Amino acid sequence: MSAIEIRNVKKRYQALQALKGVNLSVEPGEFFGLLGPNGAGKTTLISILAGLARADEGHILVEGHDVVTDFQAARRALGVVPQELVFDPFFTVRETLRIQSGYYGLRRNDDWIDEIMANLDLTEKADVNTRALSGGMKRRVLVAQALVHKPPVIVLDEPTAGVDVELRQGLWKFISRLNREGHTIVLTTHYLEEAEQLCTRIAMLRRGEIVALDRTADLLKRFSVMQLSLRLATGVLPAELRVLESEGGRRPNASERDHVLRLGSYEDVEPILAQCRAAGCTFDEIEISKADLEDVFVQVMREPALVEGLA
């Protein structure tokens, strides 16, 4: 049984087709990434998963429970951290977490609440009213609320947006521990380095459709390329090498002297440099690098036809 099973989910908002028949399975214990540009349909999909919106067609199951027909069991199995800062201004942090526990029938949950607060660095704020907290602290409370009933499936929708580095590190350490203990994690984020480090498998959404779905390592292997970055001191890049230029990998504010060339392997480096020297070029900088998930993401979003057969 999958932790999350999404079957042909479609959703339309007036003229906008937000989801166009999404099919996706997340296995128990996975750390799964759901990536896409703004407007791709990620939040719509999560809203349907969490019961905040209703699909026009299709079904979603959480731990085998339909989110519409068996919504109580589905909600109990799920913890969601939303993008928006939503809080009750009349309660302290501890009171908020106790009330959240009560929604799930948990009366004696203070030990787990204390552990969550300690891991999210909220202990000193336990008796502070939530309206007096900073934006970063309010986001920590949202994370704590999603975890308070120990759900087997945890969905994090942009959990580190606008928060400090210390919180990010502490949050990922705690979430990674929960994942090792068997919790299924689904993450959406625009910080692609986080997804690359944490997620074992990734789906990419574009305009309501999945255009890539594979293990992170296989996506990087299939779509990323090695790159040779050159900054010329003198001379002009030979015309025959311009076909190797990788526009997606160009440095920010690159000048005409900067070039990023695609490589098939390390063996390609010396022939390229030899051609440049023969054309009278000298170099200020030479750097060899492998493309990361951000490069793969840009390539997939620009050319979705490349991923036919993955989704």
> Does residue 255 share a domain with residue 193?
no
> Does residue 234 share a domain with residue 187?
no
> Does residue 155 share a domain with residue 69?
yes
Q: Among 180, 204, 220, which residue terminates a domain?
A: 220
> Does residue 62 share a domain with residue 158?
yes
> Does residue 71 share a domain with residue 9?
yes
> Does residue 34 share a domain with residue 10?
yes
What is the pLDDT at residue 222? Answer: 78
Is 297 a member of any domain? no
Is 109 a member of any domain? no
| Residue 48, both tokens | 């349907």
Assign residue 187 the CATH number of its domain: 3.40.50.300
What is the pLDDT at residue 307? Answer: 46
What is the pLDDT at residue 303? Answer: 66
Is 36 a member of any domain? yes
Distances (CA, A) of 295 to 220, 299, 311: 9, 6, 19
Question: For the chain, what is the radius of gyration of the CA atoms?
Answer: 23
> Does residue 285 share a domain with residue 155?
no
Is 122 a member of any domain? no
Q: Among 220, 247, 268, which residue terminates a domain?
A: 220
Is 210 a member of any domain? yes
> Does residue 259 share a domain with residue 158?
no
> Does residue 51 share a domain with residue 165?
yes
Domain that holds residue 200: 4-77+151-220
pLDDT tens, the chain, 311 aa long:
899 999 999 999 999 999 999 999 999 999 999 999 988 999 999 999 999 999 999 999 999 999 999 999 999 999 999 888 888 888 999 999 999 999 999 988 999 999 999 988 899 999 999 999 888 888 889 999 999 999 999 999 988 877 778 778 888 888 999 999 999 999 999 889 999 999 999 999 999 999 999 999 888 877 767 888 999 999 999 988 888 876 544 454 557 788 988 887 788 899 999 999 999 999 999 998 877 888 888 888 876 544 444 44
> Does residue 237 share a domain with residue 203?
no
Work out whether strand 226-234 and strand 282-290 pair parallel, antiparallel, or are unpaired: antiparallel
What is the pLDDT at residue 148? Answer: 94
Q: Among 170, 186, 220, which residue terminates a domain?
A: 220
How many domains would you assign to the chain?
2
pTM of the entire predicted model: 0.80
Is 250 a member of any domain? yes
Assign residue 243 the CATH number of its domain: 3.30.70
**What is the C-alpha to C-alpha distance for residues 285 and 49, in angstroms, rounded to an integer?**
49
> Does residue 240 share a domain with residue 265?
yes
Is 16 a member of any domain? yes
Helix extents (H) in 148-266: 165-180, 192-198, 216-223
Contacts within 8 Å (CB) and 24+ apart, 106-109: 106/148, 106/149, 109/148
